[in-house]
Structure 1
């Protein structure tokens, strides 16, 4: 199979047009794919994103440096240097070509600004810290680049590109079969997970509907009305009762404290300290919640002398509480938006 490699050709532009053409020509002569960014504006940050994506996909990075530093970014780094640094960061093999200081060069293609000259000097020092080739003419560059690329391909082969019609054989067939089987297994797992989630969601909705559809007449004794004959009863849905007591059942709570939670919401803090709600009423309510698999006897250990009954939320109970809280939070957001609109 014949591989083709992508080579990114990087340099300052206007001063090295002919030199770039020679390198691109050499790439094509060797049957590979040159990537040049001549059609993009080097000073455009949006175009830099495109350039970076191109560098992500290349196999080799070729840098040509002469006597210009080129346009710079907002932080003062040249775009050519930025490309170079990005390629180094990505671990892409670098083919560096720096002009020989003794080579003749037109003065109008040299940096005249002192600051740019200093930046260029530092950049050259950075590039020379790796293995580089020195060139003097475009023809010299053409030859040295061809040899350097050939050596890099031989010594450091990359992924490259292959025609689709060349990718055949037993190994490829095996890999495709494996991937197909793996894909089918993943789809099956996703489908099972989705069905499980749908089933859980149906179970949560069903429990909430049942809680909302059932009411209980509840009343609590207070310090002002300590006798049952004086208690005022109200029609309360089991959904409200569950929301009142569920927070205390996340870990566990005693039957007596469950009764106090209900009394707190019915009468506020003036409820009677001991059994403000009838013991049998609390037992019935907990039995209703247990029938819906929302609560269960607590599994925590207590001292032998502690004869109280303790309850905690089941997994379903926690999910129902979570749904109640989510709805309340969403209603709060909606109310906040309405107030803002009115203001």
Structure 2
């Protein structure tokens, strides 16, 4: 976004009219905005406030000096020096262009009194404390001003001015970038929600399938001659019972004992020690759950020779969490409903 800089041009007027015109021309040709005291009169406080406002709004300040100090205020300060002092006090980058002392200059354009000569000398010494160029003629001033300003734009970057439409375009671009970023976040959030929704659908489907498969579990009690049937259970009920045990992994025979004791509600002391539930039935049950990716063989626990261990998969752990959350939510709703009934 290209900026146009406002450049305040200051000098005595009558003696440097042509030189000022060339500097203004150079600024215009560079595509920037020149302003200066010739547009105003600094004869009263109101007009001086206008000039100050123009300097405040300027990005750079240029002062041209030769051998005339110019008109002065009641306190003896020249208008040009007053503008210079104000620009410097505002921190505006200031460039000085002083006529080379070796150049002959018309007496009519020079100070005639010793006081005037001293004032212009002191003023030029003040200007030299900032970046300054010495010019020999109008063409030399024109060229040196253009070069010095280009260097100043780089060395002392300023805000400048831009077209309102350009600012609006930039603002629109920034808004589009912001909205695009927000849109990406929302799409990501929607994708996560959709993934969760799809997973819930998968879990519900698995639950339906497991609930629809009923198994008759047989157990072997101590001193019994044969296997005895227990209450028929769905694969869902069995999984809901053994899944917490499989969170950290469990050995196959321990799984069989847990199903016989806890899931089928047979007292532990009534069960025989070795395989109280058939090995093949236990393994088949686990294979059913493995078919849905809910459990997996594991070596995470120390494995003894001849023993096999099973644990919930990451997917199975998510499924168990889904089931438990549903149970907790239902229990909470029942309590809330009961509380409302009591209150009414």
TM-score, length of structure 2 as denominator length: 0.49
TM-score, length of structure 1 as denominator length: 0.49
| Bigger Rg over Cα | 2
